[in-house]
């Protein structure tokens, strides 16, 4: 229990958010939306890390979340640079068209 909320609810919420992100990755064609769904999945995991860190009264989990945020920022910068380069060359970011690397 954290402030009267069982950890199981946090587990459920994180699972639902993660799965919404996973379904978004599978069901959308726009690369940027896929990117945003990956961010959503990262955030679901972050939320669970913070919940368990509060539950166990251990600050390591929150430091982990901090590092995950740093890595996510780096990942988004590189990924969006790659996407904009692809858009400049191919004029689309549709994953069904970009299904083979050598075009």
Partner 1 sequence: MLGYTITQWLFGILSFLSIMFALMVVFSRNPVNSVLYLVLTFFCIAGHYLLLNAQFLAVVHIVVYAGAIMVLFLFVIMLMDLNHDNEPQKTWVTKIIAGIAGGMLLCVLVGSLKGSEQLGISQYGSSQIGMVKNLGKVLFSEFLFPFEIASILLLAALVGSIMIGKKEIK
Q: Which of residues 58-97 bind partner 1 (CB under 8 A)?
A: 58-60, 62-63, 65-67, 69-78, 80-85, 87-88, 93-94, 96
Residues 38-57 that bind partner 1 (CB under 8 A): 39-40, 43, 46-47, 50-51, 53-57
Give the C-alpha separation, 87 to 81, whole Å. 10
Give the C-alpha separation, 11 to 14, whole Å. 5
- Residue 4 or 103: which CB sits closer to partner 1? 4
As measured in angstroms, the least distance from the Cβ of 47 to partner 1 is 6
In 3D space, the residue among 96, 69, 22, 76 whose CA is nearest the CA of residue 84 turns out to be 76
Residues 13-32 that bind partner 1 (CB under 8 A): 13, 15-17, 19-24, 26-30, 32
Give the C-alpha separation, 45 to 3, whole Å. 20
């Amino acid at each position: 229990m954290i402030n009267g909320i069982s950890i199981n609810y946090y587990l459920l919420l994180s699972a639902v958010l993660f799965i919404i992100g996973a379904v978004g990755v599978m069901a959308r064609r726009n690369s940027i939306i896929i990117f945003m769904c990956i961010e959503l999945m990262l955030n679901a995991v972050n939320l669970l890390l913070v919940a368990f860190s509060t539950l166990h009264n251990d600050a390591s989990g929150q430091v982990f979340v901090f590092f995950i945020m740093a890595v996510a920022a780096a990942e988004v910068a590189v990924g969006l640079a790659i996407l904009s380069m692809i858009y400049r060359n191919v004029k689309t970011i549709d994953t069904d068209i970009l299904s083979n690397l050598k075009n």
